[in-house]
Amino acid sequence: MPAKLPKPTGLRPRVRPSRGTAGREPRCALPARLRRPRLLVVGCGDVGLRVLRTLSDRLPLRLHAIAVARTSESCERARALGAHALVVDLDDRRAVRRLGALARWVVHLAPPPPRGVDDPRVGALIAAARPALHRARARRSTPARWVLAGTTGVYGDAGGARFDETRPIAPATDRARRRAAAEFRLRSLARCGLAQASILRVPGLYAHDRWPLDRLRRGDPVLQRDEDVYTNHLHADDLARIVWLALFRGRPGRVVHATDDAPMRLGDWLDRIALAFGLAKPPRASRARIAAGRAAALPQVLGESRRLDNLRLRSELRYRLRWPTIDAALAAMQQRSGKAL
């Protein structure tokens, strides 16, 4: 059975009853709507909506969730799940300033800007939150909790080596450098003692409604077996539960590999999906041949090979993956559709 999500504790404001009011509701008690803990989900796209769906039994009576998205369609989906939703342009610092004091639990799922080597979106959100975080520290309140969903791409190419979170990062692309910059910004916030921050390094995602079928139907080639790269993956619903757990079980400033138990060569991973859906396996070709057939550079996934250890996920976050391997996910899908393996 998958890990049971923890109940939030120690987050209701403590109000001391005045003399002679023992056993009665104190006069200064906050209304119920203000006693609910508040969660801010920044970048509420596919994964953010899955987080809200995971928390559906808490919304809206026990948890006040605020979803920040870039489209009205995503906001409507978030509202349907019981969250309050805001359309915000994360590149507009004035708009982001509105978010600074909305919640003390923050999940940042938004991607960085498409250009540059920094992530000013994370920087703007931190700057907006600093005044409220300083006030909370002055009151000696419970530290705010932040979770950043980053990427395993910050490691660059590891030549297929297996490693844990202590490996130094070596981002090889601007996109990975932007993600590394976001991690640095959040760690700086944690070092100041203003928030308890956890960083999840996330690999390629898939889900029962999110398979790479278009790629398989196009017949995009993958590297021949002796050149193929190791890749890591995770079911998006597992990530949604991991994000919630990291808010409460993540150690301050800690990095956790949010990945499944079975790193695989990319071609083998795609072969399994093709077989399950009755599609042709992707053709194999040499790296030189694939590069010669492309006008642009090779995709990053074909140039970086690594195998990630997820011991911290299992031991520190104490999460038991619902889909520990791609085979488990495909078996569950086929069972749902009534097909025999």
DSSP notation for 166-207? TSPP---SHHHHHHHHHHHHHHHHHHTTSEEEEEEEE-EEEB
Burial of residue 238 (number of CB atoms within 10 Å: 0-12, 13-18, 19+): buried
For the segment 257-287, what is each residue's pLDDT rounded down to a tens digit?
999 999 999 999 999 999 999 999 999 999 9
For the segment 87-108, what is each residue's pLDDT rounded down to a tens digit?
999 999 999 999 999 999 999 9
pLDDT at 341: 44
Comparison of pLDDT for 117 and 9, the residue scoring more: 117
pLDDT at 34: 55
Question: Could you tell me the pLDDT band of residue 255, with boundaries at 50, 70 and 90?
Answer: very high
Q: Residue 280 and residue 42: Cα distance in Å, rounded?
A: 39
The strand pairing partners of 38, in sequence order, are: 64
Question: Could you tell me the pLDDT band of residue 2, with boundaries at 50, 70 and 90?
Answer: low
DSSP string for 302-322: GT---EE--HHHHHTS----S
Q: What is the pTM of this model?
A: 0.89
Q: Is the pLDDT of residue 298 over 80?
A: no
Q: Residue 40 and residue 252: Cα distance in Å, rounded?
A: 19
Residue 141 CB contacts under 8 Å (≥ 6 apart), including other chains: 104
Using only the alpha carbons of the chain, give its radius of gyration.
22
Which helix (DSSP H) or strand (DSSP E) does residue 107 occupy? strand 105-108
pLDDT at 283: 96
Task: Tell me if residue 3 falls in helix, strand or coil.
Answer: coil
Question: Could you tell me the pLDDT band of residue 8, with boundaries at 50, 70 and 90?
Answer: low
Question: What tokens appear for 276 in the block?
Answer: 């399950």
Q: Is the pLDDT of residue 3 over 60?
A: no
Average pLDDT on 297-308 reads: 88
Q: Is 170 left (phi over 0), alpha (psi -120 to 50) or beta?
A: beta
Question: Could you tell me the pLDDT band of residue 141, with boundaries at 50, 70 and 90?
Answer: confident
Q: Exposure pattern of 56-95 as b/e (b: 16+ CB <10 Å)?
A: eebbeeebbbbbbbbeeebbebbeebbbbbbebebeeeeb
Mean pLDDT for the chain overall: 90
Question: Could you tell me the pLDDT band of residue 18, with boundaries at 50, 70 and 90?
Answer: very low
Q: Is the pLDDT of residue 181 over 50?
A: yes
Q: Which of 41-45, 244-248, 275-279, 293-297 has the lowest mean pLDDT?
A: 293-297
Q: Residue 232 and residue 234: Cα distance in Å, rounded?
A: 7
Average pLDDT on 153-182 reads: 97
pLDDT at 335: 87
Task: Tell me if residue 34 falls in helix, strand or coil.
Answer: helix
Average pLDDT on 325-330 reads: 96
Average pLDDT on 64-77 reads: 97
Q: Is the pLDDT of residue 23 over 50?
A: no
